[in-house]
Amino acid sequence: MRSKTCFTCKEYKKLDDFYKNRCLKDGYLGVCKNCDKNRRKQWRKTNHGRLWRTWEGMKARCYCRTHTRYSDYGGRSITICEEWLNFNTFYQWAINNNWSSNLEIDRINNDGNYEPQNCRFITTKENTRNRRTTILNQIKVRIIKRCLELKMKQKDVAKIFSIIQNHVSRIKTGKRWA
Ligand SMILES: [Zn+2]
């Protein structure tokens, strides 16, 4: 048998038009390549497909050393709680916590992990703004540390950056300022 009928489009096609699958009786999928591609495309637009992408992204940032943003996540020991390593648990939590397709996952405490108590869904715009504030703070902290190394008075540094002196002293002692 070199040809068969696709379950979906019902067309009689050559076996080359079907993806191989060793688990199936004749070694090929029941739907043709074309229908399979369409099925995946449709799936990506479903809640399940979209949240799967979110979940994969979260795992990559935390555990994949070659990911471009690993240094901000896995590199800072940010992890995913054990229950969320199971996609279905994560999916259920998202659906029960006002997820919708225009929202992105956000960690409330930037030093905290991906876990129910520390996560919420916000818009891309809010997320970008948060990220920018964090980067800005990191740059600011670096400059402030440099000023202190150069023996500038805490009071003066505080005035330059329009922050209270207590913040400057916290940066000096290495306590993070958020
Ligand atoms: Zn087909």
Per-residue pLDDT band at 101 (split at 50, 70, 90): very high
How many angstroms separate the alpha carbon of residue 66 from the centre of ligand 1?
A: 37
Closest CA to 148 of 171, 164, 177, 176: 171
Residues 87 and 122 in one domain: yes
pLDDT digits (tens, 9 = 90+) for 55-65: 999 999 999 99
Provide the residues around ligand 1 (an ion) whose CB is within 5 A: 6, 8-9, 32, 35
Residue 25 has pLDDT above 50, yes or no: yes
> What is the pLDDT at residue 1?
66
Instruction: Note whether 53 and 125 are same-domain residues.
Output: yes
What is the pLDDT at residue 163?
A: 82
Statement: residue 7 has pLDDT above 70: yes
Which of 54, 128, 42 is closest to 84 using CA atoms? 54
Q: How many Å lie between the centroid of ligand 1 and the Cα of residue 45? A: 20
Same domain (yes/no): 35, 68: no
Residue 110, pLDDT score: 86
Written as six digits, the tokens of 134 are 């964090």
| C-alpha neighbours within 13 Å on the C-beta side of residue 83 | 9
74 lies in some domain: yes
Whole-number Å distance, alpha carbon 134 to ligand 1 midpoint, is 49
Residue 177 lies inside a defined structural domain of this protein: no
How do residues 102-135 score in pLDDT, each as one tens digit?
999 999 998 899 999 999 999 988 888 877 777 7
- Does pLDDT of 72 surpass 70? yes
pLDDT of residue 128: 83
Question: What is the reported pLDDT for 170?
Answer: 83
Using the predicted structure, report yes or no on whether residue 39 has a pLDDT greater than 60: yes
141: containing domain? 137-172
Ligand 1 mean position, distance from CA 32 (Å):
4
163 and 98 co-located in one domain = no
Q: Model's pTM, two decimal places? A: 0.69
How many domains is the chain built from?
3
* Same-domain pairing of 91 and 151: no
- 17 CA → ligand 1 middle, Å: 9
Per-residue confidence (pLDDT) for residue 121, from 0 to 100:
95
Q: Do 157 and 108 fall into the same domain?
A: no
